[in-house]
Amino acid sequence: MRILAPVTFAQVRLAYLQDHPAQRAHRGNTNPEGEENLRRADRLLGRWQAVLLSRADVLGVVLPWHTGEGGGYELVPPTGLTVGQTAARLRARPAAVYGANPVCAAKLSFLARSPLTPVYLSTRPVPHSDYAAVRACGALVHVDGLHRMLAWELAGCLPREEALVAFLAGDPGALPAPSGAARPSGRRTPAAASAERLAEPSPVTSG
């Protein structure tokens, strides 16, 4: 994980709504719930950073309890699984999972062809029933982007290097340092430049 810059919650919310409008008309639209999850993370942790993630970082993100959009197959148990573990379950039993969870399957199929957009994470599970039993053990925790992270991994789209923009609630310094410890940005990539532009003060004022 590469740390880019601090950002405000207003900037995080604006970035989210640009990619995930609440009024988007499609089956299983959970964008309003995603926005509320951002608010939970902000109330709990109160600070945000723009960061860049590699595939290895994404695979280690802990996901909350997920029943496949109301389907018949529990994709993630209440104690949570990482993106990597959940993707392995999908690969091991695709017919069973997709057959029992048609809405979830449709999302994964659609998002596998979508561009990489920022995901939203935290250093601790947010206060919600889906996260109540999650065992994060010092890992990054999902706030929004479950289907996108899984779809991109299954489609082979996750970047090997630190290139996927994420907004992280909490203090990255509170996380256990991995072998490749989080570090300030050095080489400017297009993703880094995009995230840094999002971190600049917005000319839009609230009404």
State the pLDDT confidence band at 201, using cuts at 50, 70 and 90.
very low
**Residue 188, C-beta contacts closer than 8 angstroms, at least 6 positions apart:** none
Is the predicted pLDDT of residue 185 greater than 90, yes or no? no
| Higher pLDDT among residues 181 and 108, named by residue | 108
Residue pLDDT, tens place only, 162-178 = 999 999 999 999 888 76
Residue pLDDT, tens place only, 58-72 = 999 999 999 866 667
Rounded to whole angstroms, how far apart are CA atoms 96 and 72?
9
The pLDDT value given to residue 183: 47
In DSSP notation, 16-53 reads HHHHS-TT--STT--HHHHHHHHHHHHHHH--EEEEEE
- Looking at the chain, how many residues does it have? 207
| Higher pLDDT among residues 122 and 23, named by residue | 122
Q: How far is CA 46 from CA 67, 98, 192, in A?
A: 29, 37, 23
pTM for this prediction: 0.84
